[in-house]
Amino acid sequence: MAEHPFVTLAKKGYEAFRTGDMATLGEVFADDVVFHVPGKSILANSYQGKAATFGYFGKLFELTNGTIKVESLNLYVSDDQVVMLDRMAAERNGKTIDTELVLVLKVRDGQFVEGWDHFADLAAWDEFWA
């Protein structure tokens, strides 16, 4: 059985994020992507467009001095979405975080057009960035 195209897209995007491959990220995210980060932390926002979204991704690495690690635990697809269950760990200013999150990505024309981070412990996420 062939792999669902959204699974292939998600794996490609995940690997590009993990390795900092901006060219490939540019292929999988639409120019008008909107990426939503919940909470009250310095990173909470709805990032409009590729530049802003990629700026958010860059801040994750910059503010953790590259210690951020994301592990994909599972992946689900529907007619227009990819849902990824992930584990994220990082260190910052003497703090550590190790939390699960759900990443929901809406797909249109073979690209991600909208994304939502949902953290298992939003209070811990906010505190980590405080």
Per-domain residue ranges of the chain: 5-129
Strand 81-92 to strand 95-108: parallel, antiparallel, or no bridges (unpaired)?
antiparallel
Per-residue pLDDT of the chain (130 residues; tens, 9 = 90+): 788 999 999 999 999 998 889 999 999 999 999 999 999 999 999 999 999 999 999 999 999 999 999 999 999 999 999 999 999 999 999 999 999 999 999 999 999 999 999 999 999 999 999 9
**Stated pTM of the model:** 0.94
Please, are residues 33 and 49 in contact by the beta-carbon 8 Å criterion?
A: yes
Q: Per this entry, what is the length of the chain?
A: 130
Nearest C-alpha neighbor of 28 from the set 49, 16, 13: 13
Phi, psi (rounded to 5 degrees) for 124: -65, -40
What is the pLDDT, as a whole number, of residue 110?
95
What is the pLDDT, as a whole number, of residue 2?
83
Please, are residues 14 and 72 in contact by the beta-carbon 8 Å criterion?
A: yes
For the segment(s) 5-129, the CATH number from 3.40.109.10, 3.30.1540.10, 3.10.450.50, 3.40.800.20 is 3.10.450.50
